[in-house]
Amino acid sequence: MKWTFVNNEFAEEGKDRIRTGDLALQRGYAVFDYFRTIHNKPLFLDDYLQRFFNSAAALFITVPHNPEAVKALIFQLIEKNHIPQSGIRMIATGGYAPDSYTPVEGNFILQQQPLQLPDTATFETGIKIITQEYQRDLPEVKSINYLMGIWLQKKVKEKQAADVLYFQNHIISEFPRANVFIVTPEGRLATPSRNLLQGITRKKVIELAGELLPVEERDVFLPELTHAAEVFMTSTTKRILPVTEVDGIRIGNGTAGPVTRKLYTRFLEMEATQV
Amino acid sequence: MKWTFVNNEFAEEGKDRIRTGDLALQRGYAVFDYFRTIHNKPLFLDDYLQRFFNSAAALFITVPHNPEAVKALIFQLIEKNHIPQSGIRMIATGGYAPDSYTPVEGNFILQQQPLQLPDTATFETGIKIITQEYQRDLPEVKSINYLMGIWLQKKVKEKQAADVLYFQNHIISEFPRANVFIVTPEGRLATPSRNLLQGITRKKVIELAGELLPVEERDVFLPELTHAAEVFMTSTTKRILPVTEVDGIRIGNGTAGPVTRKLYTRFLEMEATQV
């Protein structure tokens, strides 16, 4: 039996419903966040909670529970569902707006699903990506607006790629659901600094990398990608995943690079200390 | 008692629910359309239905009923609710996607609400607007993405305006929920031609205007706005509404202009022949 939390109560699967007048359904107006559990323990929960409440505030969305209450509900959900390796999604919507436009008190939802992370083989070969000129609206906010990300999936599949990296004015920013890093030919780690969602995994990787090599948060230009020694993405559901082909051009020797491997190992160690 | 239609059945108010796993809620991925009824009869329904199904196809969203079936459901809804002057919203979502990302068969919703159109006083004084550099994603598709439109409401209110007109590269496009027309000092009607949603009211106004003055669908530049003899917006919920102030600059003599009045009268006459 899988439980979801909706507003003030836990709902069994299939009974986790909200009314159709919500602004998320009518206007795509809602924020969310998404974190992992390992052995029934949430990973980096405080970071995710903080970002969730920041996103809500930025969109004038009222979350009907405070951060401490949300935290308590999350632990109850984990206890009820007992899905040791999972992803938990928190959503706060614009609510049942009488005028179908102006946010009111939001609906609040917690969902938990089993989560499978990329396997070793995927890490070794890495993934192919394409690039696309695009800039998300209000990129620092984790809104539910994935219109372009989802719409672009057709193009991604046609190109036999696994994901799409956004850029604008020749500067790369992010994937729809992940951040990007490059290792320069000079052995420096660089990651875009603006017009993107500040990923929690991104933040942890920057912390870890500081002990290994010089780290630069700065504008990263499109040509730097294909000339990089290594490229990888970071995200909650992928941890660290090598990118070995960009728009048909092989990166490095086409497999997971040494810096990516080292960071991945360090990240797994950091995870182990947390849970 | 107000009824909503959800997927395969009519639901009483409060029971019109969908599950929280829908892509509209998780990823803001859905299309919709919205038309009026007068004396319990839908206005220009075929135009709206066609646009709705075009939007769905453009986003790879499956509507679980064909256009004729949707039409029949709309007439049933009108009969059940008996709200003579109303707005009816059709929504088709990305559905309950197991991976929270890839559209599957969509949820389909019909909602009906009483609708109050602008009164004569509002028409006479017109409205104040501000302008904002912004371009909607996939503008020809009526998606539910109103993230920026709603987020900008705070700025609109601070400026004591009623709405915000988007432009990019000095070319105006549309309001979040309406189209824009100008009457040039030379007495020609002009309306932006690209990067916008093709409004049904816009289309009807272009048809009507052809008998009155030269009509141009073309790029309209920002400075043309403030130098226009008249400016007005068109939308389903506003019909034709004069814009009498743009970014603090008065348009014409600051009241509804003669061309706007004539088109408004003609539009009301056209409406009367339809219902």
User: Measuring CA to CA, how many Å separate A83 from each of A7, A46, A48, A271, B157?
Assistant: 21, 20, 19, 18, 46
Instruction: Tell me the C-alpha distance between B198 and B33, whole Å.
Output: 12
Please indicate if any CB of chain B lies within 8 Å of the CB of A99: no
Which residues are registered as beta bridge partners of B129?
B163, B246
Nearest CA-CA partner of A243 in A187, A174, A186? A174
The contacts found for B266-272 with CB under 8 angstroms, 24 or more apart, are B266/B208, B266/B212, B267/B201, B267/B204, B267/B205, B267/B208, B267/B239, B267/B240, B268/B239, B270/B204, B270/B208, B271/B38, B271/B43, B271/B239
Identify the band that residue A231 occupies on the pLDDT scale cut at 50, 70 and 90.
Answer: very high
Q: Verify whether the Cβ–Cβ distance B146 to A91 is below 8 Å.
A: no
Radius of gyration of chain A (CA): 19
pLDDT at B177: 98
| A91 Cα to chain B: minimum distance (Å) | 8
Mean pLDDT, all residues of chain A: 97
pLDDT at B156: 98
Q: What is the pLDDT of residues B65-110, one digit of tens each?
A: 999 999 999 999 999 999 999 999 999 999 999 999 999 999 999 9
Angle between helical axes of A45-58 and A200-209 (0-180°, round to 10): 130
Identify the band that residue A275 occupies on the pLDDT scale cut at 50, 70 and 90.
Answer: confident
Give the DSSP letter of residue B61.
Answer: P
Q: What is the pLDDT of residues A23-37, one digit of tens each?
A: 999 999 999 999 999
**pLDDT (mean) for A86-93:** 98
Please indicate if any CB of chain B lies within 8 Å of the CB of A151: yes
Q: What is the dihedral of CA A82, A88, A92, A93, to 10 degrees?
A: -100
pLDDT at B1: 61
Nearest CA-CA partner of A192 in A208, A201, A181? A181
For the question of whether the overall pTM of this predicted structure is more than 0.95, the answer is yes
Q: What is the pLDDT of residues A11-25, one digit of tens each?
A: 999 999 999 999 999
Q: Cα(first)–Cα(last) distance of chain A, in Å? A: 25
User: Measuring CA to CA, how many Å separate B244 from each of B25, B122, B227, B256?
Assistant: 38, 11, 12, 7
Q: For a pLDDT cut of 90, what percent of chain A falls above it?
A: 99
Strands (E), chain B: 3-6, 9-12, 17-19, 30-38, 41-42, 86-93, 108-114, 127-133, 163-168, 171-172, 179-183, 189-191, 215-217, 220-221, 230-235, 239-246, 249-250
**pLDDT (mean) for B238-263:** 97
Tokens of A46: 């405080």
Strand B17-19 versus strand A17-19 pairing type: antiparallel
Does residue B185 carry a pLDDT above 70?
yes
Identify the band that residue A1 occupies on the pLDDT scale cut at 50, 70 and 90.
Answer: low
The residue of chain A with its CA nearest to that of B33 is A26
Tokens of A93: 């919507």
User: Measuring CA to CA, how many Å separate B229 from each of B120, B211, B242, B254, B260?
Assistant: 21, 19, 11, 10, 10
Name residues whose C-beta falls within 8 Å of residue B190's C-beta, 6 or more positions apart in sequence: B181, B182, B183, B184, B215, B216, B217, B218, B220, B224
Identify the band that residue B275 occupies on the pLDDT scale cut at 50, 70 and 90.
Answer: confident
Exposed/middle/buried for residue B219 (C-beta within 10 Å: 0-12, 13-18, 19+): middle
ipTM above 0.90, yes or no: yes
Q: What is the pLDDT of residues B198-248, one digit of tens each?
A: 999 999 999 999 999 999 999 999 999 999 999 999 999 999 999 999 999
Instruction: Tell me the C-alpha distance between A32 and A164, whole Å.
Output: 21
Tokens of B140: 């020809």
Q: Verify whether the Cβ–Cβ distance A28 to B24 is below 8 Å.
A: yes
Residue A45, CB-side half-sphere exposure with 13 Å CA sphere: 19
Q: Verify whether the Cβ–Cβ distance B28 to A24 is below 8 Å.
A: yes
Residues in A closer than 8 angstroms to B27, CB to CB, are 144-146, 149-150
Tokens of B88: 């009816």
Identify the band that residue A198 occupies on the pLDDT scale cut at 50, 70 and 90.
Answer: very high
Instruction: Tell me the C-alpha distance between B244 and A115, whole Å.
Output: 55
Does residue A267 carry a pLDDT above 70?
yes
pLDDT at A188: 98
Whether B274 and B44 have beta carbons less than 8 Å apart is answered as yes
Q: Verify whether the Cβ–Cβ distance A147 to B137 is below 8 Å.
A: yes
Instruction: Tell me the C-alpha distance between A224 and A190, whole Å.
Output: 10
Which is it for the CA torsion A20, A21, A22, A28, positive or negative? positive
The residue of chain B with its CA nearest to that of A92 is B25
Tell me which of B13, B22, B27 to substitute to probe the interface with A (most A C-beta atoms closer than 10 Å). Answer: B27
Nearest CA-CA partner of B153 in B177, B136, B137? B177
Buried b / exposed e over A184-204, threshold 16 CB at 10 Å, is: beeeebbbbeebbbbbbbbeb
Written as one letter, the residue type at A137 is D
The residue of chain A with its CA nearest to that of B115 is A99
Tokens of A215: 């780290």
Buried b / exposed e over B118-127, threshold 16 CB at 10 Å, is: eeeeebeebb
